Structure 1
Amino acid sequence: MTGSVLTGIDGSAQSEAAVRWAAEEADRRGAVLRILHAWPWLSTEYAEDSLAGGLRPAALRALADTAERIRAAHPGLSVETAVVGDDPADALVTAAKDRDLLVLGSRGLGGFSGLLVGSVGLAVAARTTVPLVLVRADGTSRATTDAPPRREVVVGVDGHQACDAVLDFAFTEAARRGARVRAVHGWDLVPVWTAAEWVPPQVDLATQEAGEQAALVMALASVRAAHPEVEVIAETRVGGAANALVAASAGADLVVVGRRDHRHHMLGVRLGPVAHAVIHHSPAPVAVVPHD
């Protein structure tokens, strides 16, 4: 059965980048691309309002223009469009439930300048039940002099509690791109040692490093067996998971992190600290994969 990729637009450069990225991904998957524009004032109930009456026709024209550009760039790709008169985050989360992937710009849709991820992007990342990719308007950092010699998907791995859903997403995406996987396990010393930049002489860092590397290799064993065609680099870095992933993201095609579905906070559902840091600071597109 044909899959589907959903993306949201709002006229920003970030959403334009997201639409292009989503179209390329839909093409790779042989999936349908659905482009959504959501805003409360786009509801048909405001059609006769003198202030809001022109918004819906303008949104429909913008969607039609975007769809035309995408079809021209990707002949044969099935493109659908929709306007929804609702809060953008609510509309995107609802519409994504029946899709395979959601793609958004990393800012826009209600975001503030100076933040890599807008308020709507963060809200959707914390709530969506399907994988979400956040794309920057300036693309990835593959053009830098530090770019790897071939395509690469970076995935964050907890060597002691690996998540099959996150790993399978990363390896499947790498296989689609003919890319290798860089599996990164960031670990840290006891916090007080790190803060003091001091390690007790009796602590054997080499032994700890070897143990973390062994745990990472074991965590990857099952997914490597399922994807023997994908080259893998298993890498451990001292300094914590977020720092390790951001450092590894330079030049990557995609960075993949997990988000626990049951993570709640007194103010509602939220992202974990690693996912939050990576989507704000990674120069590459970031996939947030919800899991149990």
Structure 2
Amino acid sequence: MTRCVLTGIDGSPQSEAAALWAAAEARRRGRALRLLHAWPWLDAGTENVSRPGDLRPRALDALRGIGDRIRHDHPGLPVEAAVISDDPVDGLVAAAKGQELLVLGSRGLGGFAGLLVGSVGLAVAAGAPIPTVLVRSGQAPAERPAAVEATREVLVGLDGREPGDAVVEFAVTEAELRGCRLRVVHGWDLVPAWAYGGLMPPQVDPVEQEAVEAALMSPVLTDLRAKHPGVDIVEDIRLGGGARALLEASTHADLVVVGRRETRHRLGPRLGPVAHAVMHHCAAPVAVVPHP
């Protein structure tokens, strides 16, 4: 089976933005684009059969509309559309197996305006077996001023103690595809210690500790630069923790890349605190990459 870029469509502006972003990504990667609508109450018959209450024709119309726009904008890009009768989370996670990339619209419908990702996006990103990108409305590819174009970069969060090779390789590949800089961000914090029943300020020199953190990153960066000599790779070490560092550094990011451990929690797949925070609050598209 030929691997493709898969995107979920639900008729929202966010899913339309995700589809347009996915189309540009599919063209960069030389892959086909598959548009998928998953809903548990669609009739399970063929798409030529319409029954009272069957949502399949309406879903197919929405898919055809965005598919036609993408074919117009990207002549020659193979685009297919499908509707499946399944729960959106289960359907998207199952459909992602063996594919190149999954792209979703990022929409939070709760009462917290600062939270940008809804329950479906969170659940799919936590359980999908392939990298999953969440795109907000307004993040579809567009022309940029030359001054902004020159500052484009892909960001990746790196823990020097547990680098996550799959995460870093995904990020550097994305930078190569875009012809832009890769910024490797490492956020660290001063951890207070317990003493006499309470928290005490850490007895650490920040300057010395930053040198330690840089030394942890150095082997990974050296190896990365050797493997990808054509990519401008810069290191960015910041005091304040991983999520804060990525959010502060993401001003001009094309994409922010974070990792997600594949190990299963007893309550099911889950996201770590850094990935969770970045997904909710980052203005740029966010890629969540599973790794061992």
TM-score (norm 2): 0.89
Aligned 8 A contact 2:160 2:213 in 1? yes
Q: Against the structure 1 CA distance between its residues 34 and 234, is the aligned structure 2 distance closer, same or farther, given a 3 Å change threshold?
A: same
Q: Is the 8 A contact 1:153 1:255 kept in 2?
A: yes
Q: Deviations over 1:27-74 (max 9, x none)?
A: 101100000011012132696653x22x11111111111111100000
Would the aligned equivalents of 1:213 and 1:235 in 2 still touch at CA under 8 Å? Answer: no
Q: How has the CA–CA distance of structure 1 residues 44 and 33 changed in structure 2, closer, same or farther, with 3 Å as cutoff?
A: same
State, as a whole percentage, how many aligned pairs show the same letter. Answer: 59
**Structure 1 CA distance for aligned equivalents of residues 243 and 44 of structure 2:** 44
Report runs of 4+ in structure 1 exceeding 4 Å deviation. Answer: 45-49, 196-200
RMSD of aligned alpha carbons = 2.6
Distance in 2 (alpha carbons) for counterparts of 1:237 and 1:66: 41
Per-residue CA deviation, residues 76-116 of structure 1 (Å, 9 max, x unaligned), is 100010000110011000001021000001117xx446330
Give the alignment of 1:8-157 within 5 angstroms.
8-44=8-44, 50=52, 52-53=53-54, 55-107=55-107, 111-112=109-110, 114=113, 115-139=115-139, 149-157=150-158
CA contact (8 A) 2:43 2:85 kept: yes
> What do residues 150-199 of structure 1 show as CA deviations (whole Å, max 9, x unaligned)?
22000000011111100100000000000111100100001469xx9985
Rounded to whole Å, the distance in 1 between the matches of 2:248 and 2:199 is 20
Gaps of 5+ in 2: none
- Structure 1 unmatched ranges of 5 or more: none
Partner of 2:263: 262
Q: TM-score, normalised by structure 1?
A: 0.89
Partner SS state of residue 253, structure 2: coil
Aligned positions of 1:203-282 closer than 5 A: 203-265=204-266, 267-282=267-282
Q: CA deviation at 1:217?
A: 1.8
> Aligned AA for 2:72?
A
Letter in 2 for 1:172: T
Distance in 2 of aligned mates of 1:212 and 1:160 = 9
SS at match of 2:263: coil
* Whole-Å separation in 1 of the counterparts to 2:68 and 2:122: 29
- Structure 2 CA distance for aligned equivalents of residues 131 and 106 of structure 1: 15
Find the residue that maps to 1:254 and give its secondary structure. strand
